[in-house]
Chains A and B, each alone.
Chain A
Amino acid sequence: EVQLVESGGGLVQPGGSLRLSCATSGFTFRDYWMLWVRQGPGKGLVWVSRIDSDGISTIYADSVKGRFTISRDNAKNTLFLQMNSLRVEDTAVYYCVRATRYWFDPWGQGTLVTVSS
Chain B
Amino acid sequence: QSALTQPASVSGSPGQSITISCTGTSSDVGGYNYVSWYQQHPGKAPKLMIYDVTNRPSGVSNRFSGSKSGNTASLTISGLQAEDEADYYCNSYTSSSTWVFGGGTKLTVL
Contact = CB atoms under 8 A, between A and B. Distances in A.
Interface string A23-45: 00000000000010100000011
Contact of A45 (B1, B34, B52, B104): B104
A110 B45 contact: yes
Given A103-B52, A104-B36, A107-B45, A44 B98 contact: no
B3 A104 contact: no
Given A46-B101, A47-B98, A105 B48 contact: yes
A47 B38 contact: no
B59 to A, nearest CB: 11
Given A61-B1, A103-B48, A109-B45, A44 B38 contact: no
Nearest to A60: B98
B93 interface: yes
Given A59-B97, A62-B1, A104 B57 contact: no
Contact of B51 (A59, A95, A103, A110): A103
Nearest to A45: B101
Contacts of B89: 44-45
B102 interface: yes
Interface of B: 1, 3, 32, 34, 36, 38, 40, 45-48, 51-52, 57, 89, 91, 93, 97-104
Interface of A: 35, 37, 44-47, 50, 59, 61-62, 95, 100-110
